Amino acid sequence: MEYKTIDHLFRTHSGKMVSVLTRIFGLTHLEIIEDAIQDTFIKASISWKEQQPENPEAWLTKAAKNRILDIFRTLKAEKKHVPNFNYNTSSIAVNELFLDTEIEDAQLRMIFTACHPSLDSRDRISFALKTVSGFSINEIATALLTKEETIKKRLFRARKAIQKEQLKFTIPQGKLLSKRLDSVMEVLYLIFNEGFHSNKKEKLVQKELCGEAMRLSQMLLKNKLTRKPSCYALFALMCFHSARLDTKTNTNNELLDLKTQDRSKWYFPLVELGNTMMNKAVENDEFSSYHYEAAIAAEHVRSSSFENTNWDKILYWYQCLNNIQPMPSHILTMSVVCIQNKDYKTAKIHLDQLQPNDFAQRTYLYYGTLADYYSKTKNIQEAIKNIDLALETVNNKLEKEFLEKKKLDLLLGK
């Protein structure tokens, strides 16, 4: 038995089980439910040593069903509150809850719970990755560059907040849905971004995070209540970015920027899917930040070469984006676009609005852009000075090597 199979099944199946069991027993028993799921997979790792079942997912589902009854008996023995769950109909009820449509409904409820505004914004990503996506505490800590103890505290706080606020395991309705959906999309956007542009030291891209964010976004689009224009735009953005994932590094694991990526290796079926999603996203005139970000990404993937990029159009979209969502990162990117357009005066005006501490862990991007500005305006001394500052603040190994190469080019007069 290959334990990679169990790891894979845990990732893809545990979130479904947690969601369905939570629908039966309620959020107050979430910790017991997660323990039960853990027990099921431990049992699998032991039972499958000699021989793996023909249908592992069916085996796990059956084991989970049996575990449901174990939990029910335990809760009843401890005289804790349990849902009205009749033994004579339990088998039918459980079978129905494990239908694909019901699993998706339960997982959607869990997404809205994990991303509830009552939870601390720092805790939502960790809680979503744990309960919905089946990530282990170690995996979450590694993905988010955080200590395991910190993740444990975040999960504990999230569970406490759920109990304190007596949150319901439901998909919100009416006017409340819009606000709650914004919170969900923000979490999915952040999960995707951490995968697409990782802060991890040795790894620039974490495809598993990108894939999970896309899976959860698709879940939103399958439900008529959450199938909103902004959701289509968010998914389109993820498609456009994901089309370029395999070209962000070369065979030597060196970082490649947009200028040096092999565009023939971009995955154009994802670009086409992104275009389809964007067509749905603009069926009315409700434009979100995701619409403008997707429009920017679309301009990049439709350009035949870096030199043929429509920088004027990209600058326009960034101005629209910054108008509805003012952020230092948008102003920084506007300066980058102006540098590409050789409009150095406007680029400097944008840069002068910014401070290094506006960018937290990504301060190196600010210094790197300053270095590009000084390089293009022939102030090599200032360019090298700012690349050195970028090198002091960059964490990712590949990006550090990329900056070191740029510094060497400057020293050699390239």
CATH number for the domain that contains residue 19: 1.10.1740
Domain presence at residue 113? yes
Q: Give the predicted TM-score (pTM) of the model.
A: 0.83
Q: Which of 223, 240, 257 is the last residue of a domain?
A: 223
129: domain range? 105-223
Domain presence at residue 128? yes
Residues 213 and 112 in one domain: yes
Residues 82 and 147 in one domain: no
Residues 128 and 207 in one domain: yes
Residues 85 and 118 in one domain: no
Residues 129 and 88 in one domain: no
Domain presence at residue 177? yes
Domain presence at residue 201? yes
User: Which amino acid, residue 13?
Assistant: H
SS3 (DSSP) at 255 = strand
Residues 216 and 121 in one domain: yes
Residue among 396, 3, 2 nearest 201 (CA): 396
Which pair of structure tokens corresponds to residue 349?
């005006």
Which pair of structure tokens corresponds to residue 78?
């401890």
For residue 356, the model assigns a pLDDT of 92
Q: Which of 191, 223, 255 is the last residue of a domain?
A: 223
Domain presence at residue 248? no
Domain presence at residue 270? no
Residues 11 and 67 in one domain: yes
In 307-396, which ranges are continuous DSSP H helix? 311-324, 328-340, 344-351, 363-376, 380-393
Q: Report the run of H or E that residue 280 belongs to, with start and end.
A: helix 268-281
For residue 1, the model assigns a pLDDT of 45
Residues 161 and 80 in one domain: no
Domain count, the chain: 3
Residues 114 and 73 in one domain: no
- Kindly tell me the burial class for residue 408, based on how many C-beta atoms sit within 10 Å of its own C-beta (0-12, 13-18, 19 or more): exposed
Residues 161 and 68 in one domain: no
Residues 59 and 158 in one domain: no
Q: What is the DSSP string of 167-200?
A: --SS---HHHHHHHHHHHHHHHHHHHHHHHT---
Q: Which of 223, 239, 260 is the last residue of a domain?
A: 223
pLDDT string in tens for the chain (414-residue length): 455 567 777 777 888 888 888 888 888 888 888 888 888 888 888 888 878 888 887 788 778 778 777 777 777 776 665 555 554 444 545 566 667 778 888 989 999 999 998 999 889 999 998 998 888 888 788 777 688 999 999 999 999 999 899 999 999 988 889 889 999 999 999 888 888 876 555 555 578 888 889 999 999 999 998 999 999 999 999 999 999 988 988 777 777 889 999 999 999 999 999 999 999 999 988 899 999 999 999 999 999 999 999 999 999 999 999 999 999 999 999 999 999 999 999 999 999 999 998 987 789 999 999 999 999 999 999 999 999 999 999 888 888 999 999 999 888 887
For residue 16, the model assigns a pLDDT of 85
